[in-house]
Amino acid sequence: MQNDSTAANPLLDFSAMPRFEDIKPEHVEPAIRSLIDENRALIERLTAEPGTPTWDGFVSPMDEAGERLGRAWGVVGHLHSVFDVPEWREAYNAMLPEISRFYAEVGQNLALFEKYKALHDSPEFATLSPVRQRILGHGLRDFRLSGAELPDDQKPRFQEIQEEQSQLAAKFSENLLDATNAHAEWVSDEAGLAGIPDDVRQAARAAAEAEGKPGWKFTLQMPSYLPVLQYADDRELRARMYRAYATRASELGKPELDNGPLIGRILALRDEEARMLGYRNFAEVSLVPKMADTPEQVLGFLRDLAAKAKPFAEKDLEELKAFARAELGLDTLEPWDVAYASEKLRQARYAYSDQEVKQYFPEPKVLDGLFGVIRALYRVDILPDEAPTWDPDVRFFRIEKDGADGPELVGHFYLDLHARSTKRGGAWMDSARSRHRNTWGSDTPVAYLVCNFPGPVGGKPATFTHDDVLTLFHECGHGLHHLLTQVDELAVSGIHGVEWDAVELPSQFMENFCWEWDVLQGMTAHVDTGAPLPRALYDKMIAAKNFQSGMQTVRQLEFSMFDLRLHGEVDASSGPVPIERVMALLDEVRREVAVMIPPAWHRFPHSFSHIFAGGYAAGYYSYKWAEVLSADAFEAFEEAGAGKGSLLDPETGERFWREILAVGGSRPALDSFKAFRGREPRVDALLRHSGMVAQA
């Protein structure tokens, strides 16, 4: 039972959407403690009950209590990501050890583990649906990975490892955000702005005015940083910005924000965890719930792809160097010249610029186009809706489909598109609520879709680069995976229970539509004239689609191999790994696959949030692994749409929904792929889409 104080706590109100206008940092501790206590009491009661457990009497109440805690803590974690002010940071960090301790404690509860095993081995198991049987199998696997079978004298240490890892991951992310916000480049002379697009200049001027200062303020947030690297004629400005960005959260900046010691400690803890569980290294632990079988298999996949991509990457770089020498007077192509020279080369070769294209992608038109694609593929409607939000800029939408008795609600999503100083960088989708059926009815899914795009400037709507549009479609693909699920079991509903190296399939799949003429026609309108994207400009974009795709591919392979080898080969058994050892491994990987080697002072690992603060440890390869699946899946739409003028084929879309999106984690991802494609995945479509096929 809730007491009077918790009953009034908005974090404990699960009747509708989160009450963001009411939720305050002081609500976090009492709400989370109350829910943890509720879960602990339930576990104590269920494990004490005699006899063989049943699904309805044991798993269902466990799921429902766990879901309430997960939802409340999810709101807290979300606000820590999108509204990282000191009060929320303090509230989040105060309860992070408690929540980590609780989940570690549950994972190690041998009595609970025995109850799950007893149900798994009982006569009822044969009567359960295949989905529920899969959930029980996953549950037993996760207990083992959580240390349930460890000797009692080792469990406290294993629990300490989980708590410390959670705290270090949060600190890593906070250091990176603070280091990103700590640096600014001030330009006082307008001549120093040569080459920088007008909307970026206006945003920089507005940033300076907001601080009551003259001139222009450029920051390390992506909407400010990237255009400077890409367009600024001032080479020294580019060099300063590049160095500041490349050394964020390292010993070369503010000492208190140095992520180097955190990296060493995180690696040592992961290694200790792996050895306690009986594995040789953390890479092996990471792969247990994934599609791939062994680190060696993944490394072989990456090296095979690298062998195919590197010749194209070397050709890309030689062409860029030759152009920079001949046309830009850059005898030595420095890293801070690459984006600038690449943009100039693209303009020279294809006679267009990113900035020119950007004018055709105003935000309202892009959203209309995105929603139009979803309607065409899946025959659903996306409509504006109302709910409390954490920022006035955030919008809220509902998804409906036609039912026998009128429109049926499918789900909701929040859309938070613009960069803010209190929001962590990057783009992501997260679950606010999962679809499931419970004792009081059914809950429809709710998703957060978060990006860091430039906001409106000078009274005009925000405009997006084509890369921004790709990012938006990518995150929306994750969102659709979560929202269009038709599974009612929490553990495998939507994105839950999907193998990590397959979870990028729906997101990367959606990106492909951003290159289709019939799609772009409907989602472009020049921000000043309203004219749609000209066919001639589109043809140039297509001609340039695979511009430097070799260089981009080996860069991703570099990150993937570094991550896998870092967690599979670096000995951390004697304590924190020296950052010099981490950098040495990165250098080794670069010698194998990279074509452009950054300066010795570059500190890439210190900002590699995916693997140190984002759940991708020994799993960054998933992007390339899933790209094989997504390219192959999209090929089905190419085949269905051949000769029709559009790939937005609703029959194929319905099949993709039914076999991929609807089933979530309720069956192995490979089975879902084969159900959709009718065969095993092939790498051919990815190589073709990337232009990495030898010309006859």
Catalytic residues: 475
Q: What is the DSSP secondary-structure string of 113-131?
A: HHHHHHHHTSTHHHHS-HH
Q: Could you tell me the two tokens for 307? A: 């062998």
Alpha helices in 329-353 (DSSP H): 335-350
155-182 and 260-276 helices, crossing angle to 10°: 160
Backbone angles phi, psi at 409, to 5 degrees: -70, 130
Q: What is the distance between the alpha carbons of residues 162 and 100, in angstroms, rounded to a whole number?
A: 6
What burial letters (b/e) apply to 648-683, b meaning 16+ CB within 10 Å? bbeebbebbbebbbbbbbbbebeebbeebbeeebee
Q: What is the distance between the alpha carbons of residues 684 and 253, in angstroms, rounded to a whole number?
A: 44
Q: What is the distance between the alpha carbons of residues 435 and 604, in angstroms, rounded to a whole number?
A: 38
Q: Could you tell me the two tokens for 523? A: 């989602």
The answer to whether 502 touches 292, Cβ cutoff 8 Å, is no
Question: Mapping DSSP to helix (H, G, I), strand (E, B) and coil, where does residue 376 land?
Answer: helix
86-107 and 155-182 helices, crossing angle to 10°: 160
Full 3-state SS string of 243-304: HHHHCCCCCCCCHHHCCHHHHHHHHHHHHHHHHHCCCCCHHHHHHCCCCCCCHHHHHHHHHH
Backbone angles phi, psi at 396, to 5 degrees: -135, 135
- ∠ CA 222-224-230, nearest 5°, is 85
Q: Report the amino acid identity of residue 689.
A: H
Question: Mapping DSSP to helix (H, G, I), strand (E, B) and coil, where does residue 570 land?
Answer: coil
Q: Is 582 exposed, middle or buried (0-12, 13-18, 19+ CB in 10 A)?
A: buried
Q: What is the distance between the alpha carbons of residues 51 and 421, in angstroms, rounded to a whole number?
A: 55
How many other β-carbons are positioned within 10 Å of the β-carbon of residue 5? 11
